[in-house]
Structure 1
């Protein structure tokens, strides 16, 4: 099993924890901004209410008036330095602030009823980051006496200290909430998402190291969500890959054995072919009549052995590409596959050039043409009286260049492909048109075309014949 490289700073768990903490702190900051503004507004409102209640106490019946020192002590507990009550046209000074006569009072005016949300936030944070001490005159209406105006004079330092203490409490509480929430969210997400993803990653890494082991296949859980679906899909994919690898391994072993057998069989068939040539010169008419069939059977057996040996060796890196005329190559294919009763037609322009491996492309076109001719003329005529000039089928090649590709159409007028061959047409040993065929012709042709970066497809197949389409790049990089 390959080791999984992990970096604590880059792991999914670490990123998840950092993002949760950042998002929660961001949310707390968004809440803190208006909270500070509201605290400042409430601080002023509370002192206006206290000043108004004190003024009512002064106006009520009492045995002895309050002296100034007692009054200052009463308001000092609320950090109020001066109070003025405006009632209709009357103005009553309850407490005057102590102002240094040698300096400017520098009083800042604050009207609570005239401030909007943005103005409240702006002034609150300006107070939070202010320096020194100055007097602030706040004007507002008491809750139960909206027709009166109360002016209070307070210290900026006292207001700032109270806001700092409030912000510290909020930040401390936010830190506790953030830590607790982040921990719980992290634990839940790590258990629900991160840990299963780590298990998937570990399984993929282990399967990559040993894809032929049944123990490496993931055992999906009973989850019904997307991760459960991913586990089931991964398990199905690993099972398919394992089965495919096992099948390839068996085919490779089978191919190695068949290659050795085919090599020896070719030598035996070649010797038999030489002896069959002598039979064709026999004086016995029956022997001379059967010799062509024997030679044809030997030729098919030798071709099957050759195709079996060469199948599977085609790779893009093994191609020896050159620039040549496609029409000339097709002429060679038609000459080598010429058959009695089959009309050959090549309508490809002599000027159409292509860059490809000439030998391998010839091999591909030859296999397709030979299959088409065998379909139109499956067996040589037994009756020597049959007119050999009669045309029983036509094989045609056409081609055109478009959008950097060249499309070659190979058509015949045979009976079409059988139903059993359509589904496995390009699979070796499966897509034979007729009984006794190897099914390697089209498989080899398709492999050659794929190695060139193209595609071989069946264009049509019916009672009027079959047509194959080859798409190849005009040139190679």
Structure 2
């Protein structure tokens, strides 16, 4: 009893699995015959031109087959109608003899001419046996050609029936005798009837089919060749050219000579060639830049090693300055030591630029104005008679950031402003202004200069390393480093549109603040008016 229940459960589970079997799963489980698998592999190994030629020939042959079937059907009906016409002429000739008695010699000639064994007719309701049939003869098939379709559906059905009858002739056994009925005149009751062997029809149909087959093969090959050469020139060759260019470019992507040269075509192939060429140019330029950056990184690592040793010696010497009682030395020595410490930290952090993961900033809530003043002193601002240094911020404004990181941001942006003013034509006189304010839990800082502004060419790659420099000989690292450090703090930097000079604005949120959200109870100060940013 338990075995029976177990068998029922297994059978039920198998049925459920069979219901859940999708068509794709079923197709994957079908075992492909060995001969089919061999041809399938051979088809995959063929090139695009060979596949195109074979498919074109196959489709043309298919079209010829679709034309062949109605052709043999029409040929058969016409051939039988010719025999009926000959039989009708024999009937008219027989009516010229008294009593309709045809002499035996003439009867044999009429039967030979009409290729029939018996002829009968019915005219005005009178049936007449013109050439009598042999009583021992057996009729194997009957065909009635008097059908007149009344609608297009009947016409289609009759056409398919005639096609089936024509195909049956090829497979019919030899020696058959058929009976064919046809109309005489417009009266549907008048008819002519013949009994004939099927062998002449079969021979004529075979000859016609062989002729059609030969013509079809010639037409198929000629059409396939024309279509092949046309499509090969329009599509296959360009696609093979694109494929060859892709393979050749992959072998050495940094070689500019391997970039495809687009043709003058304006169709989809031309668009593909131009897009591929542009993509290859961009990729080649990017790879060349990466290679140069790798080489530069190796050189920087070597320089960095020696420079740290020099700065360490300078730091040891500066420590001795603190023992000199001179007031001026005592006032500048701490700043010199701090600058050397910062330089050593910069050397240690140089190779961190560009890494996938940057070290988290050591953030603290610090006053911004003293730090900005320190940046000005490090850059030698203000400069008498050339560059003014203006700090526009509240003394109590505090920012949540890493002190060294923020110093680097302000230093890089201010240094770029100085270089822009000094590079302007005419007298190098201008102003660098740092303006800062708080909005809720975000601090906004504007670094503004009165230089010539940022050209459009530099705006396209402003914050990209080695591409956004607007000064001859510049590397473009200053803005890239500033943008990266600001991003580590969760902020953003942008170039504002101003009528004169350039204004870079960056924002740094407090820890835990999200863009567009502020905690209840925080004060929100209004942003400076637009004319104040001009």
The answer, yes or no, to whether TM exceeds 0.5 is yes
Confirm or deny: 8 A CA contact 2:260 2:276 kept in the other structure.
yes
Equivalent residues in 2 for 1:278-357, closer than 5 Å: 278-280=320-322, 282-312=324-354, 314=355, 333-335=362-364, 343-344=398-399
Residue 29 (structure 1) aligned with residue 31 (structure 2):
no
Q: 1:39 to 1:59 in 2, by over 3 A?
A: same
Residue 438 (structure 1) aligned with residue 472 (structure 2):
no
Confirm or deny: 8 A CA contact 1:108 1:135 kept in the other structure.
no
Q: 1:155 to 1:65 in 2, by over 3 A?
A: same
Q: 1:345 to 1:96 in 2, by over 3 A?
A: farther
Confirm or deny: 8 A CA contact 2:414 2:447 kept in the other structure.
no
C-alpha distance in 2 between matches for 1:34 and 1:120:
9
Q: 1:54 to 1:345 in 2, by over 3 A?
A: same
Q: Which residue of 1 aligns with 2:234?
A: 192
Q: Which residue of 2 aligns with 1:427?
A: 464
Structure 1 residue 28: Cα displacement: 0.5
Q: 1:53 to 1:139 in 2, by over 3 A?
A: same
- 1:192-229, CA deviations, whole angstroms, 9 ceiling, x for partnerless residues? 33233333322322222123334433344444443344
Q: Which residue of 1 aligns with 2:221?
A: 179
CA-atom RMSD, angstroms? Answer: 4.4
C-alpha distance in 1 between matches for 2:172 and 2:486:
82
Structure 1 residue 117: Cα displacement: 1.7
Structure 1 residue 37: Cα displacement: 1.6
Q: Which residue of 1 aligns with 2:147?
A: 113
Query: Secondary structure of 2:195's partner?
Result: strand
Q: 1:240 to 1:198 in 2, by over 3 A?
A: same
Number of residue-to-residue matches in the alignment: 400
- 1:341-374, CA deviations, whole angstroms, 9 ceiling, x for partnerless residues? 553569xxxxxxxxxxxxxxxxxx8987666677
Query: Secondary structure of 1:413's partner?
Result: strand
C-alpha distance in 1 between matches for 2:487 and 2:132:
103
Which of 293, 309, 312 aligns to 1:267? It is 309
C-alpha distance in 1 between matches for 2:491 and 2:243:
39
C-alpha distance in 1 between matches for 2:248 and 2:405:
44
C-alpha distance in 2 between matches for 1:135 and 1:163:
16
Which of 201, 210, 231 aligns to 1:159? It is 201
Q: 1:251 to 1:336 in 2, by over 3 A?
A: farther
Residue 141 (structure 1) aligned with residue 183 (structure 2):
yes
C-alpha distance in 2 between matches for 1:367 and 1:130:
101
Confirm or deny: 8 A CA contact 1:86 1:148 kept in the other structure.
yes
Confirm or deny: 8 A CA contact 1:393 1:414 kept in the other structure.
yes
Confirm or deny: 8 A CA contact 1:41 1:112 kept in the other structure.
no
TM-score for the superposition, normalised by structure 1: 0.68
Q: Which residue of 2 aligns with 1:350?
A: none
Tell me, which stretches of 5 or more residues in structure 2 are unaligned?
Answer: 1-41, 150-157, 371-395, 416-434, 497-502, 515-534
Confirm or deny: 8 A CA contact 1:273 1:298 kept in the other structure.
yes
C-alpha distance in 2 between matches for 1:333 and 1:31:
84
Which of 74, 95, 108 aligns to 1:59? It is 95
Confirm or deny: 8 A CA contact 2:253 2:284 kept in the other structure.
yes
Query: Secondary structure of 2:134's partner?
Result: coil
Query: Secondary structure of 1:160's partner?
Result: helix
Which of 381, 403, 412 aligns to 2:443? It is 412
Equivalent residues in 2 for 1:56-95, closer than 5 Å: 56-60=92-96, 66-95=102-131
Which of 69, 76, 80 aligns to 1:44? It is 80
Tell me, which stretches of 5 or more residues in structure 1 are unaligned?
Answer: 1-5, 321-328, 347-364, 379-390, 398-410, 450-455, 472-477
Q: Which residue of 1 aligns with 2:167?
A: 125
Structure 1 residue 29: Cα displacement: 0.8
Structure 1 residue 74: Cα displacement: 2.4
Confirm or deny: 8 A CA contact 1:87 1:147 kept in the other structure.
yes
Confirm or deny: 8 A CA contact 1:105 1:135 kept in the other structure.
yes
C-alpha distance in 2 between matches for 1:458 and 1:99:
110
Bigger relative CO (Cα 8 Å, ≥ 6 apart):
1
- 1:5-43, CA deviations, whole angstroms, 9 ceiling, x for partnerless residues? x99942101111110111001101111121122122212
Q: 1:264 to 1:41 in 2, by over 3 A?
A: same
Q: 1:106 to 1:439 in 2, by over 3 A?
A: closer
